[in-house]
Structure 1
Amino acid sequence: MFFDPFEEEHGGERDPQLQQSIQSISTETLQQFILLAVLVQVGLFAISIGLLLVGFRGELVLGGALACVGVVALVVAVVVYRRRGD
């Protein structure tokens, strides 16, 4: 019932090469990836909802605040990504 990335579609057997590749990733890299994924998702969601609130409901304060939070989340994601590359 739960998603298992190592399970094959039909046979239920695990792919040892995929499992070994994922296990060889450092925890720092995995944490950075998860952080970036969350920041980008939050940023895009907040910008989208904020612009919808401004455009369709005319709620400038709440919609503008959400859009700003989204932009800040995306900027933080870019900063974290570029710092990781150094």
Structure 2
Amino acid sequence: MNDPDPINVGEVTLTTVSSVLGLDPTHVAEATALIELPGFDSIAIMAILDRIEDNTGIELPGELIVPDTFESLDRLIDAFTDAGARRREV
């Protein structure tokens, strides 16, 4: 699989969060905090992580699976983008 660029990671992340939560992508993109979205709980987090990892080939390291990572959509995208960049450096 080719390494995804940040735009792909962003698109995959938005689509995944929207799909798992059953929400319109616009609603998710405009949310100030993921935790405030209906259905965003620990089970949803695991489903979101699994799907993003499957669709991007990027595994989020355990040290990034912390509440701050899920503060906003942008933080989640940044975490996967950074993890992908680290993987390419190795």
Larger radius of gyration between Structure 1 and Structure 2: 1
Q: TM-score over 0.5 for the alignment? A: no
TM-score by length of 2: 0.32
The structure where helix makes up a greater share of residues is 1
Q: Higher relative contact order at CA 8 Å, sep ≥6: structure 1 or structure 2? A: 2
TM-score by length of 1: 0.33
